[in-house]
């Protein structure tokens, strides 16, 4: 197996194969599900808008792939009641994993309690029913101090993953932000997972995040239960590397 194929095989089960396009159609989502069934294996999850959760669940029935969706996305508002309603509907439709956008505007404005209430509302609905990934939107938070504060909101609430970005803003995943997040996760005992998302399109870019997580938390920590990469374009590179003839 070539080095590229070996890396692709390592990354595939860590991938949240994502389609969050404003023009997604039922046909496009069905095609995504078909593409996900590579001979070499499957991604960890498929992440789509809530209206496509049921379609993915039906298409991937029995495959062992998680169905993920987004809440409070991408605006990151601070209406806790709305967050709870969206979460209940998503779980009722069959979502296994909820990717919640932190009410980051509230945090930036110094309204930390409002940000925390939104996360707590989602955590309460998810409890025992779905995993919760908290999207910090680190590129908008900007400063290391705000990123650390956002991490601590999530860790205190008991979220299952801290996630970098929505992929819908100017600055998405960065290694600098990921370093802060992973250090906060490590300080909390490594019980919370980490997800890099937003702008990750190459095997090399993904490998950099894997290496960073391994350095902070150990090689054995980097499993689908604790480490994810959210991407769409990266999947194309993974599939191509796995399909390439051995040298």
* Burial 169-184, CB ≥16 within 10 A → b, else e: eebbbbeebbebbbeb
Which CATH number fits the domain that encloses residue 123? 3.20.20.70
Indicate if 99 belongs to the active site.
yes
Indicate if 168 belongs to the active site.
no
């998503």: which residue's tokens?
Answer: 90
Q: Residues 71-85: pLDDT tens digits? A: 999 999 999 999 999
Q: Which of 16, 96, 99, 160 is catalytic?
A: 99
Among candidates 120, 118, 124, 174, which has minimal Cα distance to 147? 174
47 — phi, psi (to 5°)?
-115, 120
Indicate if 183 belongs to the active site.
no
Q: Residues 45-57: pLDDT tens digits? A: 999 999 999 999 9
Residue 61 pLDDT grade (very low, low, confident, very high; cuts 50, 70, 90): very high
Structural domain range at position 7? 3-243
How many domains does the chain contain in total?
1
Q: Residues 127-180: pLDDT tens digits? A: 999 999 999 999 999 999 999 999 999 999 999 999 999 999 999 999 999 999
Whether 1 contacts 201, CB under 8 Å: no
Q: Residues 90-138: pLDDT tens digits? A: 999 999 999 999 999 999 999 999 999 999 999 999 999 999 999 999 9
- Cα 214 to Cα 94, 142, 182, 209, 246: the distances in Å are 32, 25, 10, 9, 28
Q: Residues 156-170: pLDDT tens digits? A: 999 999 999 999 999
What is the DSSP track for 136-194?
A: --HHHH-SHHHHHHHHHHHHHHT-SEEE---S-SSS---HHHHHHHHHHHHHTTS-SEE
Whether 168 contacts 139, CB under 8 Å: no
Quote the CA–CA distance of 181 and 93 in Å, as a whole number: 31
């Amino acid at each position: 197996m070539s080095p590229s194929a070996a890396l692709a095989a390592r990354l595939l089960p860590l991938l949240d194969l994502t389609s969050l396009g404003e023009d997604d159609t039922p046909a496009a989502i069905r095609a995504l599900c078909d593409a996900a069934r590579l001979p070499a294996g499957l991604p960890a999850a498929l992440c789509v808008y809530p209206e496509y959760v049921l379609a993915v669940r039906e298409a991937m029935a029995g495959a062992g792939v998680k169905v993920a969706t987004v809440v409070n996305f991408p605006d990151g508002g601070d209406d806790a009641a709305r967050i709870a309603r969206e979460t209940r509907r998503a779980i009722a439709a069959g979502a296994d994993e909820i990717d919640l956008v932190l009410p980051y505007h509230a945090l930036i404005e110094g309204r930390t309690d409002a940000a925390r209430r939104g996360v707590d509302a989602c955590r309460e609905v998810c409890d025992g029913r779905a995993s919760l990934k908290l999207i910090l939107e680190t590129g908008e938070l900007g400063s290391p101090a705000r990123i650390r504060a956002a991490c601590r909101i999530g860790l205190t609430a008991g979220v299952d993953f801290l996630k970098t970005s929505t992929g819908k803003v100017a600055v998405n995943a960065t290694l600098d932000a990921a370093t802060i997040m992973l250090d906060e996760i490590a300080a909390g005992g490594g019980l919370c997972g980490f997800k890099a998302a937003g702008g990750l399109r190459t095997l090399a870019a993904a490998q950099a995040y894997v290496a960073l997580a391994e350095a902070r938390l150990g090689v054995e920590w980097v499993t689908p239960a604790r480490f994810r990469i959210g991407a769409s374009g990266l999947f194309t590179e993974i599939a191509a590397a796995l399909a390439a003839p051995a040298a």
